[in-house]
Amino acid sequence: MAAKQFSEFHTIPFYECDVNNNITIPMLINVLILASEHQNESLGVDQAALISKYGIGWVVISYSIKINQLPKNRDTVKMTTRGTSYNRYFAYREFWLHDEQGNELVKVESIWVLMDEEKRKITPMTPEIIAPYQSEKVKRVPRLPRPKIIKDLAEADSKKYQVRCSDIDFNGHVNNAHYLEWMLDSLPMAFLDSHTPAQIDIRFDNEVKYGNIVTSSVVVDSEDNDKIKTIHEVTSNDAISASATFVWNDR
């Protein structure tokens, strides 16, 4: 049985775009997650009800994002997603973004877990929760590329941020898009204006909470001379909250 696929169209408004009129990476993630939320609604899956009834909720732990081209202001794109496969503890979900001619703009692979909201621990998948997606049960879900780690933080450029109330979503977590905002903001505007991301591998390790101070650090990966790569870490209370590797193209 093939996994259920869901698609919808979205027209990019100006407030989802950067100074070059391209959709921002945080907004890209937000609109794709919105498509998965709409799939949940179409399948009769209510995230709030999941929390209230079972005390658990979906949490993403990693993304691998391949970008062929970022859509621009007023472009209409087709967003597609499916919960492709799962095993006892992990679920693999894919996302696609296509233009009106059917060209693939973005492909996103992601790994999700079910989190016990009270204990803050991963809980096994249950048949009644996973069944609506018709995902394939497998022994192993795909492994996504693991981001590099900054070897010497003393060599990194860093900025500090305080977690605001507006950074918290309805689950009580920091919205994942904000980690990407912090990472990108650690780079100079001149760099962002002249480069565009081609690949992003990001992993989320530890939660940060309202009021926490986070540090966003970045270094250029000097080990790969063929491509421009940056290595990012977001830390809080001396623990890595999220890490990422970005591969860049000249704009």
The pLDDT of residue 190 is above 90: yes
Using DSSP bridges, classify how beta strands 195-204 and 239-250 pair: parallel, antiparallel or unpaired. antiparallel
Closest CA to 65 of 228, 249, 245, 222: 245
Q: Which domains are seen in the chain, by residue range?
A: 5-137 (3.10.129.10), 153-250 (3.10.129.10)
Alpha-carbon distances of 211 from 59, 85, 159, 200, 248, rounded to whole Å: 21, 36, 16, 27, 32
Phi, psi angles (nearest 5°) of residue 166: -70, -10
- Distance (Å, rounded) from C-alpha 220 to C-alpha 228? 8
What is the tens place of the pLDDT at every residue in 83-117?
999 999 999 999 999 999 999 999 999 999 998 87
pLDDT digits (tens, 9 = 90+) for 65-87: 999 999 999 999 999 999 999 99
pTM for the full model? 0.94
Say which DSSP state 155 is in: G
Per-residue model confidence (pLDDT) at position 104: 98
Q: Residue 109: which of 71, 62, 67 has the closest Cα?
A: 62
SS3 state at 102? coil
Lowest mean pLDDT of 29-38, 129-138, 220-229, name the range. Answer: 220-229
Q: State pLDDT tens for residues 196-225.
A: 999 999 999 988 888 999 999 999 997 777
pLDDT over threshold 70, residue 56? yes
